[in-house]
Structure 1
Amino acid sequence: MAVTVKIGIIGGTGLDDPEILQNKKETTVETPFGSPSDTIIEGTINNVPCALLARHGRKHNIAPHHVNYRANIWALKSLGCTHVLVSTACGSLKEGIPPGSFVILDNFIDRTHGRELTFYDGGKESPAGICHIPMEPVFCQRTRQAVIKAATTVGLKCVDGGTCVTIQGPRFSTKAESNLFRSWGADIVNMTLVPEVVLAKEAGLLYAAVAVATDYDCWRDCGNKVNVADVLEMFKKNVEKVKLIFVEAVSTIAAEKWDDTIKEAQVVFPWLQSSPI
């Protein structure tokens, strides 16, 4: 029997708009790791089942380092999602990625600390064992290509691939840190990709991220330095474009057969087959 595709969408401010869904309903989910960031809105996009979750809450009141990433991913998995598409506001570390650019990420460098990085923490209700998850490739390559195809279809350019440095937040980088990240060859910096992408991989979800460059961080000697007001303003300018990509990506994904890819993602470790997730 073919697997039914269901797509989870995790969005930032403005990208938690339930109006992109038809037949919507609110679903409250509790997990062994606590509550997700907000009520999940289920519905359809072009008849494809979807579940929408606001990463920072619909009131945007949850800081990046306080997001319950484990509950968010567990909740989407428990609702039957097979894929997860996410948006993330980022600072650009390269002149060639100006504010307003879209980057379909393919790697990360983790500079967070103190975040819960795995479901396999030895807790009473957690999956049994220890999960040494391979992180290459970081993202589902098929899902990434579906997102790139969707962006092209709606007439939007995007950068195919990029390395994101995820910092702890909520503060922005210092200039010295920003230049260090540039010396590492990183493309963008954000506060939310890790551990979200790691947990999605543990859960066997096919995950892809659209990074929206909102600023040049603080490494440049000319121009404005990164600040919250400018980040939010640039993100809002691009909200409708990201919605277009997501809506088209849902249809693009649903038009393909994913049985083998989903099966492969869920048997990286045998206990995923019998896990409560």
Structure 2
Amino acid sequence: MTQTKIGIIGGSGVYQIDGLQDAQWTRVESPWGAPSDAVMTGRLDGIEMAFLPRHGRGHVHAPATVPYRANIDALKRLGVTDVISVSACGSFRAEMAPGEFVIVDQFIDRTIARDKSFFGTGCVGHVSLAHPVCARLGDACETAARAAGITVHRGGTYLAMEGPQFSTLAESRMYRESWGCDVIGMTNMPEAKLAREAELCYASVAMITDYDSWHPDHGEVDIAEIVATLTGNADKGRDLVGRLPALLGADRAPCPCGCDRALDHAILTAPEARDPALVRKLNAVAGRVLG
């Protein structure tokens, strides 16, 4: 058994966790650069928690400039075992309305300008992403949402776009009709990929703010409406997060999905051929298998 430590990555509108005991902002040094911000650490219902604002306090990072590798590495260095991403998104489904939440279970990655792996020349690693989120964490997020009175949809495909612009009408129609996507956002990739490489359980709670641009009755995305919906969603998101410690508990058994063993057979570079500098950078992310 290990001790549960919950990491929350807060997206647009979610910049804090309510009720943390002994809360303090902690600066974490990472070989992958500076994280988005300091990490707020503390305890909630006796469970250790760490909160990282994805865009930084004051929303200083655009989706493409978020230091995703440093963020995941920092949470791993702090001993986080379970990561819940809370982020805003648009909906491609009439039945998934603004103000409602989706527990994402699949991704299509359309981002093009981001560092997507901790591994590379000198230490090559390949992890499985067939099932990119942790079902156990998804169960907890769904239960917490329903207990908070949130309308939540279990399962959905998240289209990760580069941004920062919103979709064209043609893109929105393609993602919805041809590709079968359910929601769209700008930040869950490569975050989910990196969490898997770091052997962290990861779940994505997508908070719907709009219908993107496909909906005939809504037209183009209206940023003013998004901001208004964000405010309500943020309150719901904090309520959901506050219910997770009681659901996950203090003692953590090995993940039934295998998230915490994702690197068991992932490293292909022979030990004698590994780049020592890269191996040193991987000490938190992959230290379990690299030594």
- TM-score norm. by structure 2 comes to 0.88
Partner SS, residue 215 of structure 2 = coil
Aligned-residue offset at 1:8: 0.5
Paired with 1:98 and 1:261, the residues of 2 have a C-alpha distance of: 32
Q: Which amino acid aligns with 1:30?
A: E
Sort the Cα spacing of 1:15 and 1:275 in 2 relative to 1 into closer, same or farther, 3 A: farther
Paired with 1:196 and 1:275, the residues of 2 have a C-alpha distance of: 22
Give the corresponding residue for 1:145. 139
Q: Report the identity percentage.
A: 38
> Aligned pair 1:160/2:154, yes or no?
yes
Paired with 1:95 and 1:19, the residues of 2 have a C-alpha distance of: 32
Sort the Cα spacing of 1:228 and 1:20 in 2 relative to 1 into closer, same or farther, 3 A: farther
Paired with 1:173 and 1:31, the residues of 2 have a C-alpha distance of: 34
Aligned-residue offset at 1:17: 1.6
Give the corresponding residue for 2:2. 3
1:1-277 matched pairs, under 5 angstroms: 2-122=1-121, 129-183=123-177, 184-254=179-249, 257-261=251-255, 264-270=258-264, 272=286, 273-275=288-290
Query: Which blocks of at least 5 consecutive residues in structure 2 are unaligned?
Result: 268-285
Paired with 1:90 and 1:106, the residues of 2 have a C-alpha distance of: 14
User: Cα RMSD (Å) of the superposition?
Assistant: 1.7
Q: Which amino acid aligns with 2:115?
A: E
Paired with 2:100 and 2:257, the residues of 1 have a C-alpha distance of: 33
> After the TM superposition, which parts of structure 1 deviate over 6 Å for at least 4 consecutive aligned residues?
none
Paired with 1:148 and 1:223, the residues of 2 have a C-alpha distance of: 28
Sort the Cα spacing of 1:224 and 1:180 in 2 relative to 1 into closer, same or farther, 3 A: closer
Partner SS, residue 59 of structure 1 = coil
Partner SS, residue 194 of structure 2 = helix
More displaced stretch, 144-153 vs 167-176: 144-153
Aligned-residue offset at 1:78: 0.4
Query: Which blocks of at least 5 consecutive residues in structure 1 are unaligned?
Result: 123-127
**CA contact under 8 A between 2:132 and 2:192: conserved in structure 1?**
yes
Partner SS, residue 91 of structure 1 = strand
